[in-house]
A and B are shown apart, each in its own frame.
Chain A
Amino acid sequence: MMNKDMFSSKIKLFLTYIKPYKISFSIMSLLLLANIVIQIIQPQITRFIIDSALSNQSFRSIITAAMLFLLIVLFNLLINVVIGTLAETIGWSTTNDMRVSLFRICLGQDMVYQQKRTPGEMIERLDGDVSTLARFFSNLSIQFIGNALLLIGILSMIFIENWLVGLCFTCFTVVLFAIFRKLRSISSLHWFNYIQSSANFSGFIGEAVAAKENVTGNASLKYIIIKYTLLTRNLIRNQMKAMLMANGMWMSNILFTGLGTALMFFLSLFLWRQGATTVGGIYLLIHYQQMLMNPINTLRSQIEELQQVDASFARLSSLIIPSASIVDGNRKLPAGALDVKFDQVDFAYNDEKMVLNHISFHLRAGETLCVLGRTGSGKSTLSKLLLRLYDPLKGNIFINDLDIGLYQIDSIRSRIGYFNQDIKLFNASLRDNITLYDPSITDDQLLTIIDQLQLDSWFRSLPHGFDTIISQNAGLSAGEEQLIALARMFLRDPGMIVLDEATSRLDDATEYGLQNILKGLINKRTAIIVSHKLSSIRLAKYVAIIDNHTIVEYGEREILENDNKSLLYEFIHSQEGVTLQ
């Protein structure tokens, strides 16, 4: 079932990626053509040798022919090395190009998209599928055409030798490919299922490895063994079906080789009896018939690869298409503190229950707002909307009086610093962990930040300074992770700051130590602090309390604090109640 749109988009993709390498690609194609011509000529020389020998021609011309044969073989060998080298180079270059641009596209997708995909699945797509596809473009496509040409060449040579034999074998080849085509359409569904269950399996392996610390004892082990067994049972069934279907072509090929040889023997005998050919001629025909199976065989295995290419292409397309939900703007955010306004904003994840309902507030440049609310009340979603990780379902968000959608997402994310409790460290040097691979940042800049965060003594204890490799499971405490994350933000000097439960993983004592650093960060910047800690509330000028997905109280902190009918008053006193026990 070759979809026409899919075909043309494949061609388009091919042209895009092969363009930078068009010279090497043309040289490779030419050499391949030479290689085909040589393969077709070779048997003619052998035929000449046989016929000359049998008709007692001069020994000298036979030797000359044999030497020519040898020379051609060596030349062909050289060509093969050059073709191989070019194919590898083009193959890897296009693979890399495609991988990088897909990486960029996938990374650019919104969070709804990211949540649906495990890192294991991304490896399968970006590594496995991209390799399959790029290999097809750079190598397989031209090999495929080359083999088709070789097939046509051989058939033409048989035609030239004898038109009847030529006709028989052309029909023979056509029938064979009709069968392949049929088999292929049956098996592509099986391939798709197989690849899908293989991706599920890899995704699970990733989760299983990450689960190590989570449930100790036999609990997680038993779960993982059972799940592993269920997934592998499913996988082997799909794999067997896919393999049998794919190899159905090979089996029919073997059968046809036998039938083809028999047919050729029969035709040769017939021609021999008619006196229409020489021994050399028969040798030539039989040799061509056996040669014919080579391109058919290769084409067959390449058709199998094409199935994988189709499947990879479909999966990669599904990786790219569903973006659309977030459209980039073209304005840039100005320097300095930002003015932020929410106007009747509604939001729900994946069309499920409302998470935010009619949220409205206005925060002028340099002011601080603290958002209070129970776990799951939707307060974390506020900040994700502000960063345009998601777009509101209804209502508008304005920054400096313009709709947030008008600004470049790049500009928004570089001017709004976002900080949450879920800190991810990379298995890389401390430098790369702070700069996130930005090579333009100097060590002096980093040292200033280390100084500001009062991290100097910790920094001095590291064995290799900024080159020390740190990682998620390298024994850093939550507080140290938090400070590395703060360093990331300091480096970017944002005009607005969103602290989303930033200190919630910290114990109160450590958080207390961080207060001055946070105060410095908030000073002269607009800030939203999502938290339920008293210490954080005291940093803010305004307080918004969210309950049941909507703002139930909003006002200046100092006024609400002293109003004994306010929710804030109740909240503060319920916290202090614990102290009084």
Chain B
Amino acid sequence: MTLKAFITSMINYKRNTYFANIFFWGTVYILPALTGIINKSLFDFLTGTHYNGNSTTLLTILILTSFVQILCIFAGLLLHVYQDFSFSCLIRKNLLISYLKKPNVQGRNPSVGEFINNLQDDVGQAVGVLGMLQEIPGYALFSVFSFTILFYLDPVITLTIIVPLLFILILNNYLKSYVTSYHKTSREKTSLVTTFIAEIFNSVLTVKSLHAEKDVTEKFKLLGIERKKAMIKERIFLLIIDSISNGTVQIGTGLILIVASAALAKGDFTVGEFSIFVYYIPFINEFFYKIGRYYVQTKQAKISIERLEQLNLDCVSSFTEPTPLYLRHSFDPLHLSFKELSIDTLGSLKTLELQNLGYSFSDNRWAIRHINFSIEPGTITVIVGRIGSGKSTLLKCVAGLLHSTEGNINWNGTPVVSSALLNSNKISYTPQTPQFFNTTIEENIKLFREGPPSAIDRALYLSRLDSDIPKFEQGLQTYIGNNGSVISGGQKQRLAAARMFFENTDLYIMDDISNGLDNQTKQVFWSRISDSNHTFLISSNQKEILLRAHQIVVLKNGSMEAVGQLEELLVTSPEMRLLWLEQFNE
């Protein structure tokens, strides 16, 4: 997306607010022009030249100007905050939703820290340009107006101001490519630091128990030094550009002072005229200076927009696509339909067929290949295999989290793409290592989904969490802490299952879910699942579920060795026999 396209779509999104903003800020910037004229009139009055009017009028206008300015600032501020907030809120929301909706693509998934960093800084940078752009008309009007007055007073002196200013414009244009590359480096180094913070504080227990605090801190220090180097390089470069711009302007003022004072001495020039020159010049300079800064800022924003675009995994719609944000209007989540939610294209499950399914990593190693089997409603299918045999990959392909490299997944006989699977409400999935929100147990299960009161009981029953809830003083209202740190490992597994069972879906996919459970809990868990008459696709080697499976798929090194029921597989599949026997070989 080009910068122009970005700006246009943002302005279109909040057109009225945007132009009202330009109006108010324009007024704020143009009013000082009046002060300059009043300044001149005062000196004209003192030296007794060109004066018409009295001093009371001058003072009244002066004070009135300030009041108008304040009112405009008040209105402008409210609009500006609202506008900037809406823009960044929209972009962040779109990016977040596109991230959640899209199947993972190898090598394109940002880490959590990186994602937060991009959402913070790059969105800020990109949106900042829009605010800056709004200042330009006010400044430009002021400059044109004051330039006309000055030109009318003395064309020669006025033109001498323009020359150094043009020099600044050319300089900025020449240096902007450097600015871009310096900025890119410093942003990257910053992102390394923040990503590291997120990663380490996500793994404190690991770091502590391995007593690696010292080395980790050293590494953090190194990253900081790298960042500092890049940052100082960028800042000092900008500082020098600024100083050259500033210096040119100051030299211009000095030159004018020399020429004007000569004219002053000869009487060709009044003190009033002199004062208005000295008053206006800094404002005009500031305009040109702002244009220079604007160049730099647009360059930086271009990089940010590029990065945001890379973050946008949704290639169909752009991250500036308007969606309702409910910032001002009342918001009642229960009675709203969200158009951001995907349309479920799948019908109720009659049969699910995997046809020659394969998935390869980015380095062309096949994780799974030539997978063929089908699932009937109301049955339990269990994937068995050793570690690294591709069980998790297979489940993720069926859940739509991974985009399969070859073969088809046929839902009721029709091939479907991974995003349709991922965004379908007919499929629920629980990963090996579940993640939670820092809120209550109930909210983590319900996730604001509607459902009869019995739904939560059913979810607690099927996940065998029903016996745990009374143990918490707050019951369902217990806060589970950052990523469920307050509850035990086994409870996390079952909370994830409860979250899945809250909704009645056509296919439940569970990746090795009950391994953290004690024997007694495990027995009850699996028996409730097999009695529930739902359709399951489960990866597990546990005997409790193998004994209850309608169909077992044996994976070995990513290939399917056999498919069938336990008794026949124990005869026909050597891998199944090994896996089964090893469990009782102790």
Contact = CB atoms under 8 A, between A and B. Distances in A.
A477 interface: yes
Contacts of A362: none
B331 A509 contact: no
A119 B218 CA distance: 19
B46 A73 contact: no
Contacts of A279: 43, 46-47, 271
Interface in A356-393: 373-376, 380, 387, 389
A505 B516 contact: yes
Interface stretch (B60-68, B127-135, B137-145, B163-171): B60-68
B239 A84 contact: yes
Dominant secondary structure at the A interface = helix
A269 B586 CA distance: 106
A535 interface: yes
Given A73-B254, A88-B232, A265-B58, A373 B518 contact: yes
A575 B542 CA distance: 12
A144 B521 CA distance: 65
Given A53-B265, A262-B62, A279-B271, A225 B338 contact: yes
B43 A283 contact: yes
Interface centre among A437, A489, A581 (most CB of B within 10 A): A437
Interface in B465-517: 468, 471, 473, 481-483, 485-491, 496, 499-500, 502-503, 505, 512, 515-517
Contacts of B520: 374, 574
Given A243-B77, A509-B582, 20 more contacts: A59-B262, A106-B201, A107-B216, A114-B205, A123-B116, A211-B100, A213-B429, A216-B423, A228-B93, A229-B333, A232-B325, A251-B73, A352-B473, A375-B521, A376-B487, A376-B490, A387-B208, A437-B219, A478-B392, A501-B489
B543 A259 contact: no
A8 interface: no
Contacts of A54: 264, 271
A34 interface: no
Interface string A234-250: 01100110011001001
Contact of B63 (A66, A118, A262): A262
A104 B213 CA distance: 7
B258 interface: yes
A214 B431 contact: yes
Contact of A208 (B100, B202, B583): B100
Interface string A494-537: 00000001001111111011000000000000000000101100
A62 interface: yes
A257 interface: yes
Contacts of B231: 88, 92
Contacts of B257: 46, 49, 66, 69-70
B236 A88 contact: yes
B296 interface: no
A215 B499 contact: yes
Interface in A93-129: 93, 95-96, 99-100, 103-104, 106-108, 111, 114-120, 122-123, 126-127
A237 B144 CA distance: 38
Interface stretch (B153-161, B240-248, B284-292, B348-356): B240-248
Nearest to A67: B258
A435 to B, nearest CB: 7
Nearest to A232: B89
B188 to A, nearest CB: 14
B224 A286 contact: no
A197 interface: no
A232 B258 contact: no
Q: Which 5 A-B pairs have the closest CB atoms?
A: A258-B66, A479-B387, A375-B490, A424-B203, A507-B541
